[in-house]
Amino acid sequence: MRPASSACQLAYDPFCPIKDFLLHLLPIPYAPDDRFGIDFLASQPGLIWFHSGSQSTDSEWFSAWPSVEYQYLGQEQIRVTDHTGHSRALTGDFFDCLKTHCPKIEGHTDILFGGGLAGHLSYDFGLELHKVPSQFPSHGAPLAIVGQYDWSISIDHTQQRAFLVVQDYCPPAIAARARALVKQLTAQRPATPAVVASRSANTAPSLMPDTASKWSCDMSERRYTEAFQHIQDYIVSGDVYQANLTRQWSTSAAGLPDWEIYQQLICAMPAPFSMFHRHRRGSLLSVSPERFIQIRQGRMQAQPIKGTRPRGRDAEQDELFRQELLNSEKDRAENLMIVDLLRNDLARHAKPGSVQVTGLFEIQSFNNVHHLVSTVVAEIKDSAHPLDVLRDAFPGGSITGAPKKRAMAVIDEVETTRRGHYCGCSFFLAGDGYLDSNILIRSVSLADDTLTCSGGGGIVYDSECAAEYAESEVKVHAIMAALRP
């Protein structure tokens, strides 16, 4: 990477490190019935939205038109493209590149994201990080795509506040478009509630054609059984304690807009760590229930999910499933393995003695499943960067198994295709150092007119093949049902 120079600081240059700068806040009238202009951006390049579902009581933010997009192509090859379309190739560590170019701004209590970096890492990036060779040829897609967003609309539903945030260093053309957006949405605020607030999973009309309902799976039940047995053999021999086995489904989505597909998905499956990201190679549509790592005001937090049961057909059966999960020794043991793995991952950049488990085996319920969730916290070292923590904990242990590197090698051996985005993570890093991220489960990728999604679960010594196979179906059923005509 080119070193900083005084000349490159005089004008906007995406290939040079960015100096500290200020942000400008413009209050927007808060109205809970609409989404503050995101529908006006539905077709815009680089659209990104971090939110928590249709009944949000938390904070959310969205943006578009990234000033710079960073693509990691693997083997330390990086493509950097600015907002004018000018690209340049760099060589080096991707995370170091992001750290060098991430802007630094003062935090503000009224905004979630005042500008910085946002995007996603594919699971396959983790193979390179851990030096795990893969049997599968490269599919040519970038291993990570991260945008630098110099403006956003940030919404706090608790305080009922909304702001347009424009960084001082935002390219003038993008800043002008952002301000024009606010004028447009103020003048043309929808007369009816937005689609997400007004539709339910039962009433939202489907936009998918008949051909798109034909999801095909890459792994038959027989092939799954063989893979399951191979993992069991590795467990008995002491190679791994747990390995996550997944299957992938795909279907045609020719001619269908990514934004309309996502509306159906979030209507049916609102989730606390949802995100939408349109990038140069396709779109990522996530309704993830799982936080990966959050770092805020020096405090790190991870919330691994291990243990799943379906929702019941009525209240009585639903409670039976809930209690079954809560009292399952197998699921609790599986969860505890990953808690220990996350404790070790966070400890690499934690102040000595600060790592704690503040929640263990807690039930969280979603539209389609119950999950067993634990919480690990720690204080970050003063010398550590949030991206160091993200890199050294990636990919999340809840979707690999333990020990992580060996489990990843076993996964690559027994699964039938690359995971791609699935089981990677999406994240944002604000200029004030606030990082939040999810694990890309319950997520759909759209590329080349094809939708893909995946589901799976952790295999341990006392796992039952039929039950694990059924669990993988449960995890994707709601996605496929939401996108079926």
For the segment 29-53, what is each residue's pLDDT rounded down to a tens digit? 787 655 666 888 899 999 999 998 7
* Residues 6 or more apart whose Cβ sits within 8 Å of residue 381: 349, 350, 351
Helices assigned H by DSSP within 276-400: 315-326, 329-347, 386-393
* Residues 6 or more apart whose Cβ sits within 8 Å of residue 167: 21, 22, 23, 24, 103, 105, 114, 115, 150, 151, 431
- Collapsing DSSP to helix, strand or coil, 148 comes out as strand
pLDDT at 373 (0 to 100): 95
pLDDT at 45 (0 to 100): 95
Average pLDDT over residues 129-135: 97
pLDDT bracket for residue 203 (50, 70, 90): very low
Average pLDDT over residues 320-344: 93
> Residue 7 CA to chain centroid, in angstroms?
37
pLDDT surpasses 70 at 213:
no
pLDDT bracket for residue 189 (50, 70, 90): low
- What does the alpha-carbon distance between residue 138 and residue 226 come to, in Å, rounded to a whole number? 25
Helices assigned H by DSSP within 80-145: 94-101, 123-129
Residue 438 and residue 305 in contact, taking contact as beta carbons nearer than 8 Å: no
- The catalytic residue among 60, 306, 334, 404 is 306
pLDDT surpasses 90 at 299:
yes
pLDDT surpasses 60 at 415:
yes
- What does the alpha-carbon distance between residue 64 and residue 38 come to, in Å, rounded to a whole number? 9
pLDDT surpasses 50 at 316:
yes
pLDDT bracket for residue 56 (50, 70, 90): low
pLDDT surpasses 70 at 207:
no
pTM to 2 decimal places: 0.89
- The catalytic residue among 60, 69, 290, 334 is 290
Question: Which domains does the chain possess?
Answer: 14-482 (3.60.120.10)
- What does the alpha-carbon distance between residue 156 and residue 58 come to, in Å, rounded to a whole number? 6
pLDDT at 62 (0 to 100): 94
Percent of the chain with pLDDT over 70: 87
- What does the alpha-carbon distance between residue 258 and residue 144 come to, in Å, rounded to a whole number? 19
Average pLDDT over residues 123-133: 97
> Residue 230 CA to chain centroid, in angstroms?
30
* Residues 6 or more apart whose Cβ sits within 8 Å of residue 60: 49, 50, 51, 52, 112, 154, 155, 157
Helix%, strand%, coil% for the chain, nearest 5: 30, 30, 40
- What does the alpha-carbon distance between residue 288 and residue 309 come to, in Å, rounded to a whole number? 16
Looking from the CA of 449 toward its CB, the CA atoms found within 13 Å total 6
Lowest mean pLDDT among 195-209, 232-246, 281-295, 320-334: 195-209
pLDDT at 201 (0 to 100): 38
> Residue 323 CA to chain centroid, in angstroms?
29
Percent of the chain with pLDDT over 90: 68
306 catalytic residue (yes or no): yes
pLDDT at 61 (0 to 100): 93
Average pLDDT, the chain: 87
Place of tokens 């969280």: 364
Lowest mean pLDDT among 103-107, 175-179, 440-444: 103-107
pLDDT at 114 (0 to 100): 87
Convert 317-353 to b/e letters by CB count within 10 Å (16 or more is b). Answer: ebeebbeebbebeebbbbbebbbebbbbbbbebbeee
pLDDT at 50 (0 to 100): 96
pLDDT bracket for residue 18 (50, 70, 90): very low
Lowest mean pLDDT among 68-72, 92-96, 269-273: 269-273
Helices assigned H by DSSP within 91-171: 94-101, 123-129
pLDDT bracket for residue 363 (50, 70, 90): very high
pLDDT surpasses 60 at 384:
yes
pLDDT surpasses 80 at 153:
yes
